[in-house]
Amino acid sequence: MARTEMKRGTLKGITVGSNDGRTHVLLLMPRAHRPDYEAKIDMIAHTETVYSTYLRPREGKEAIRDSGMEPDDHSFHLINIATKDLGVWMQNLIQQGWNRCEMEVIPNNDTAMDIMCFGHPSSTVVERLPLPWNPFDVEGRCYNHIPDGTTIIEDAPDDLDSDKVSEDISSTDSEIVEAEPVEAPAETTKVVVAEVPASELLEEEVRRTIDLLRADGMDMMQVMEHPKFAEVSERAGAANVDVWTMVVSTFQ
């Protein structure tokens, strides 16, 4: 089970120096579903810290409504996650009907951003989601979802006023993000992760890969022919993981 720590800043600011082998995902859900969603993600056994923020545009709502979505009825969870953990993060959600959606995220009427999107089955998915600002630069409450077996040691700047930070956090609405970009101080993070047998990690990676490809609508043969599956399958096979049985059991 992961623990969650909250801090004020921007998603770009809290992930400085932590982007190798990681990706961004936007998860769209009805606001009423958010408590259930948060209870589920707290139980996910991911291996690296997931950084996130909830986007709730105060301005630009009419543009979103014009696209066909009511922004006040939805929660937008933007996460920065290790690519190897994406499958395990999405596995239970996909089993509950979440699907990958082809939704273009367009900030400030600019070009579309390269963000993978998944939607809850009861959410309204639109072709284009216009935002009034860059979602990575918006200041608000950000969250570190820290997995079991991981110790986070942060070297705070010497001139940081802890009382002022505490006051800022307590006076900020949990879902509100403002349109003003801020420059957050870089943080030095040391991560210690409990060791897990390589074969178990590969089995999980195979399962996550299969689930993600199935979420794209692929059948068993298409999954087995996909380059992403071929790559992880080769590594798993070399570690004596029974990949074929895993594939067949998944599609039964």
Tens place of pLDDT per residue across the chain (252 aa): 678 899 999 999 998 876 778 999 999 999 999 999 999 998 888 999 999 999 988 888 999 999 999 999 999 999 999 988 888 898 889 888 999 998 999 998 788 998 999 999 999 999 999 999 999 999 999 999 998 766 554 544 444 444 444 444 344 444 444 444 445 555 544 544 456 677 788 888 888 888 888 877 788 878 888 888 888 888 888 888 888 778 877 776
User: What is the Cα–Cα distance from 190 to 9, expressed in whole angstroms?
Assistant: 20
Those residues whose C-beta lies under 8 Å from the C-beta of residue 138, and which sit 6 or more positions away, are 10, 11, 53, 55, 177, 178, 179, 180, 181
- Residue 168 CA to chain centroid, in angstroms? 25
Residue 33: phi, psi to the nearest 5? -90, -10
Both tokens of 211, joined, read: 């689930």
Distance CA 233, CA 219 (A): 17
SS3 call for 136: coil
Q: 246 by DSSP, 3-state: which?
A: helix
